[in-house]
A and B are shown apart, each in its own frame.
Chain A
Amino acid sequence: MGYRVKAEVMDAEAMDRALTRIAHEILEANKGAGTIGLVGIMTRGADMARRLAERIERIEGTPVPVGSLDISFYRDDVATHLSPEVHATDIPFDVESRAVVLTDDVLYTGRTIRAAMDAIMDYGRPSAIQLAVLVDRGHRELPIRADYVGKNVPTARTERVKVLLAEHDGKDGAVILEDDGKGE
């Protein structure tokens, strides 16, 4: 099945502003950067975590620890689906008694976040887990919500949302893709 772009929901400037706002919101909610750690879900969430950390350091002047998390081994559909590629998980700080801010590009069913929370718990007991996403597209299948949202985008289940990041895709932005009706 092929996909074509239905709409652009975020351009590079909008993403830049959203990330800056989220950085400020994280600092406001946690009263500074002293007790937080960012953990990005592979692969685009990890890039997002690094960008947020840069902004937080610019604003507060203190570095924030950043990690990346691969949730392949925690998925609830291992029996039917294997991640083609497993990335290394690297959390270079102690999550114990820290507020861990999980970051991911798109929030959809919530199953990825459920798996990520289980994974974080295996590293220790954080004082809190918060969630930051660039796009919330709805259709949750679990009682999960984001604390920091770049943009809420109403979508149909048949559509796909793709967040583009310069690190992977050459440019920043977010688009809704729909079936182009051409089949295979």
Chain B
Amino acid sequence: MLASRHIMTMDDVTAEEIVHILDTAESFAEVNQRRIKKLPTLRGRTIVNLFFEPSTRTRMSFEIASKRLSADGVNFTASSSATVKGETLLDTAKTLAAMSCDLVVVRHKYAGAPQMLAEVMDCSIVNGGDGVHQHPTQALLDLYTMRQSLGKLEGLRVGIVGDICHSRVAGSLVPALRKVGATPIIIGPPTLMPARPDVLGAEVAYDLDEVLPSLDVAYLLRVQFERAARMPFPSNREYASLYGMNAARLAKLPPHAVVMHPGPMNRGVEITADVADSARSVILDQVESGVAVRMAVMYLLLGGADSGAAA
């Protein structure tokens, strides 16, 4: 049971609730190893995936999670909906509300879209990524993966490398790490840093090679060419040589450290193929954890709803 009905930003969960979500996800991870990967837990509940932006892993991960919990999942894709006829987000939300669903996962190119939905809908909202703002379930599955790989969260030094200013992953991961007592360090070229990097509350660095030996996790971000107004660096090759993870940089990391990436990867830009596919990379573990973590979020948001209202 969580105090908030929604998970729209990392502000909606406390440090204790994060640990509770990760512990619950561990039980769901066991289910995902079974031959019959299905639980009757959310039978009869309706979960809508409202995706206004393209997505492979997040949408599939939420969809698989809802199916494994026996909820009825409905997928909404902007390109094949009334959105192309000009329906606004609010009208779409009201239409969905009239069909009485229990949980909406929303991804939208504008920050704050989940909050807008929460105002007109009477169901739980999970933010599946809003613009360059937040992507909280990604941060939760990243924490889960770090805890699985390194055995703890407290005291970890996590270097988040690359396109910080366009990254909703960093937007959620930085506060999430701070809540659980880890240290986020944002590293990237000044052209890809937010205007006020200090407000994020992370350590700021511009030289990746200097920071590498102190890291427990090297978290590479995708360079979001589609969000950048113009090319933020002279060439992909220059970016790769200064901020890309490659075999030489992997060797500078402490031996226990792991490499993460939220996907999809620009192979050869922020990460080379040999590092992405190496034993030190836990990128596919992140994808695997995603299903269990999203099952835990759905279970904790939708379960016990009545007693929550009464208490």
For B304, give its contact among A74, A81, A85, A86 (CB under 8 Å): A81
- Cβ of B27 and Cβ of A82 under 8 Å apart? no
B40: Cβ under 8 A from any A Cβ: yes
Q: What is A's interface to B at a CB cutoff of 8 Å?
A: 70, 72-74, 78-82, 84-90, 118, 122-124
- Cβ of A89 and Cβ of B41 under 8 Å apart? no
B36: Cβ under 8 A from any A Cβ: yes
Nearest residue, chain B, Cβ from A85 = B23
- Cβ of A80 and Cβ of B27 under 8 Å apart? no
Tell whether A73 pairs with B31 under 8 Å between CB atoms, given A88-B26, A122-B36, A123-B36: yes
Tell whether A79 pairs with B26 under 8 Å between CB atoms, given A118-B40, A123-B36: no
A82 vs B28: C-alpha distance in the bound complex, in angstroms? 15
A63 vs B36: C-alpha distance in the bound complex, in angstroms? 28
- Cβ of A74 and Cβ of B40 under 8 Å apart? yes
Q: How many residues of B contact A (CB 8 A)?
A: 25
A74 vs B24: C-alpha distance in the bound complex, in angstroms? 14
- Cβ of A78 and Cβ of B26 under 8 Å apart? no
Give B288-307 as 1s and 0s: 1 = Cβ < 8 Å from A's Cβ atoms. Answer: 00000000000110111111
- Cβ of A73 and Cβ of B299 under 8 Å apart? yes
How far is the CB of A33 from the nearest CB of chain B, in Å?
A: 26
How far is the CB of A121 from the nearest CB of chain B, in Å?
A: 8
Query: In the complex, how many residue pairs between chain A and chain B have their CB atoms under 8 Å apart?
Result: 58
- Cβ of A73 and Cβ of B30 under 8 Å apart? no
A89 vs B28: C-alpha distance in the bound complex, in angstroms? 10
- Cβ of B41 and Cβ of A74 under 8 Å apart? yes
A-B pairs with lowest CB-CB distance, top 5: A82-B304, A82-B303, A80-B306, A73-B41, A73-B39
Tell whether A88 pairs with B304 under 8 Å between CB atoms, given A73-B41, A78-B41, A118-B40: no
A92 vs B299: C-alpha distance in the bound complex, in angstroms? 25
B35: Cβ under 8 A from any A Cβ: yes
A78 vs B304: C-alpha distance in the bound complex, in angstroms? 6
How far is the CB of B139 from the nearest CB of chain A, in Å?
A: 21
B34: Cβ under 8 A from any A Cβ: yes
How far is the CB of B182 from the nearest CB of chain A, in Å?
A: 24
- Cβ of B34 and Cβ of A80 under 8 Å apart? no
- Cβ of B1 and Cβ of A88 under 8 Å apart? no
Other than A73-B31, A123-B35, give 10 A-B pairs with Cβ distance below 8 A. A78-B42, A78-B304, A79-B304, A79-B305, A82-B300, A84-B1, A85-B23, A87-B27, A88-B30, A90-B30
How far is the CB of B28 from the nearest CB of chain A, in Å?
A: 8
List A contacts of B303 (CB < 8 A).
78-79, 81-82
